[in-house]
Chains A and B, each alone.
Chain A
Amino acid sequence: MRILALFIAVAGLILTVVPSFFVFIGTLTWQAHARLMFIGMLLWFIFAPIAMKKKGSHLNI
């Protein structure tokens, strides 16, 4: 479960930063980049706490 959460969380980070590069080279609109960053943010904040939770401890946000 933690491995899967880690993959999704990292995908969230990729969605946060990679679209901006495509905006820079002109192959993606700013609006699409902003939407993808929003999705990336949701993925990161939902799955990173699960991925980063240490065994036997609770990460309270």
Chain B
Amino acid sequence: MTFVYNVVNALMFCFLAGAMISVAATAVGLPLSMPMPELKDMFPTSITWIVVVFCVGFVVTSLAILGFEKFANFAKICSPWMFLVFVAAALAVLPKLGLTSFGDFWTVATQKIWTGIPVEGQSKFTFWHVMFFAWFCNMAMHIGMADLSILRYARKWTYGFTSAFGMFLGHYVAWVCSGILCAAADVTVAPGPIAYMGAGVAGAVCVVIAGWTTANPTLYRAGLALQAATPDWKRWKVTAAAGLGTTIAACFPALVMRLLDFVALYGLILMPMGAVIFADFWILPRLGLRRNFAEASRSKISWSAAISWLVTLVVAFLLPLEIFFKGLPGFFIALVLYVLLSSVEQRMKQNKILS
């Protein structure tokens, strides 16, 4: 089970890192007059795109092999600057939308930026979409326990403030700015050209750095998750293999153009295992059942966990809801299933523990 979980986790990390390599490639390709992928593009759009993606992928993989600490230090320097670039770029394009005083902001915002009319072929994002996505876009980490594969934990509870600060500024404010920039860009959807339109060279550099600083730790995590599945391999070899897979995936613009759907899917796939871990630790002992039963009964697989994972995923995919809304009911389905199945399994295998 742990093997399957780690492999699935690593694959998802690779795809996520791949999307970020694609984002960086849209900025690196700017001086090369590279044709940018469009919203509906699924496959590589040109040879230049593939070459640029491979160059970016090579750099990102090399840095991930070197380790996390150096890049984490670099990211610390980048963070305040990147946030200000976002804000500055959005401010500078407001006149393009016909806005020159803050008093008219709401009028222009409702008429030209957040009009409520989706692009053709895209589903309309309502308040509920945004709220559920905001809560569940990182579901893989927070609920799916993806970070267990790298044994990451906070030493002090106050570290939570860093997350809160990062989420409010990094996600909330940056998404508001992103909405303004996309409205000003009109038909362009590639992040590189949009950032260049708002902030010039600094904007393009910001996109490259944003892509790298997201792709690198993600690729590093993919390497660690894969290493947990293949302990005989050296970390650099695993990371190099993951980097190659990630770079190939990054050649497909579908990954970045459908990023929201991918992130929602990523969270959904790992979510049942998070529910299983939660139920195993907090609920089973209160019901007189045993934690870590597979280990106690020397089973190689926890059938309760495996069936809960699979059945929850099948039920979640069959639910007549958009992907952003499947996570919440799915969590409770997995929770109930695991408790019921554990009760049955533990009763059936009781003798294995006693002997």
Contacts and interface: CB of A to CB of B under 8 A. Distances in A.
Interface in B232-281: none
A38 B74 CA distance: 19
Contact of B77 (A17, A19, A38, A61): A61
Contacts of A17: 84, 87-88, 91
Looking at chain A's contact residues, is the secondary structure mostly helix, strand, loop, or mixed? helix
B62 to A, nearest CB: 14
A48 B77 contact: yes
A32 B84 CA distance: 17
Contacts of B305: none
Contacts of A33: 88, 92, 199-200
Given A16-B85, A35-B200, A38-B200, A60 B73 contact: yes
A38 B89 contact: no
B202 A38 contact: yes
B339 interface: no
A33 B205 CA distance: 15
B220 to A, nearest CB: 16
Interface string A7-50: 00000110011011101111000110111011011001100110
Interface in B194-232: 199-203, 205
A48 to B, nearest CB: 5
Contact of B91 (A20, A26, A35): A20
A24 B205 contact: no
Nearest to A21: B91
Given A24-B94, A35-B200, A59 B205 contact: no
A4 interface: no
A60 B84 CA distance: 23
Contacts, number: 78
Given A26-B95, A38-B202, A41-B202, A20 B87 contact: yes
A2 B80 CA distance: 18
A16 B202 contact: yes
Interface residues of A, number: 28
A57 B80 CA distance: 21
Contacts of B73: 59-61
A11 B239 CA distance: 39
B202 A20 contact: no
Nearest to B90: A20
Contacts of B203: 37
A60 B77 contact: no
Interface string B71-114: 00110110011001101110110110001110000000000000
Contact of A52 (B77, B85, B95, B201): B77
Contacts of B152: none
A40 B81 CA distance: 9
Given A41-B205, A52-B76, A24 B91 contact: yes
B85 A37 contact: yes
Contacts of B298: none
A54 B232 CA distance: 37
The 7 closest A-B pairs by CB, nearest first: A34-B200, A20-B88, A37-B202, A20-B91, A20-B92, A17-B84, A23-B92
18 contacts: A13-B84, A16-B85, A17-B88, A23-B92, A24-B94, A24-B100, A26-B100, A30-B92, A33-B92, A34-B201, A37-B85, A38-B202, A41-B201, A52-B77, A59-B77, A60-B73, A61-B73, A61-B77
